[in-house]
Amino acid sequence: DAMVIQNPRYQVTQFGKPVTLSCSQTLNHNVMYWYQQKSSQAPKLLFHYYDKDFNNEADTPDNFQSRRPNTSFCFLDIRSPGLGDAAMYLCATSREGRTNEKLFFGSGTQLSVL
């Protein structure tokens, strides 16, 4: 089945140690999103790619970066994780990013920062 795959499911890192989360999709969608979701909160959009065009949300800290080397893969890099960055990170895709399109989500990566 076509899907959005996130690895790893659980990631533990140390305070200040760079970490990379990965996402791949077999849907051939143009748009890929990264969301941060903290406990009992709604997902918060960090940034998205429309094809190779990167779109950062105004309130996304500089500590968060992303790469999309090709259509299928997208990475979230956290350069110096702080305790406040512990959260679920969700990757999602949509075909063209239009207002009426539904999002397809991966299962998420639960990040712990020690």
Residues making contact with other proteins (CB under 8 A): 31, 33, 40-43, 45, 48, 50, 55, 57, 88, 90, 92, 94, 97-100, 102-108, 110
| Burial tier of 15 (Cβ tally within 10 Å: 0-12, 13-18, 19+) | exposed
Q: Tell the smallest beta-carbon distance from residue 15 to other proteins (Å).
A: 24
75 vs 88, beta carbon nearer other proteins: 88
Q: Tell the smallest beta-carbon distance from residue 41 to other proteins (Å).
A: 7
35 vs 81, beta carbon nearer other proteins: 35
40 with 25: CB under 8 angstroms? no
3-class secondary structure for 34-52? EEEECCCCCCEEEEEEECC
Q: Tell the smallest beta-carbon distance from residue 5 to other proteins (Å).
A: 11
Other beta carbons within 10 angstroms of residue 99's beta carbon come to 4
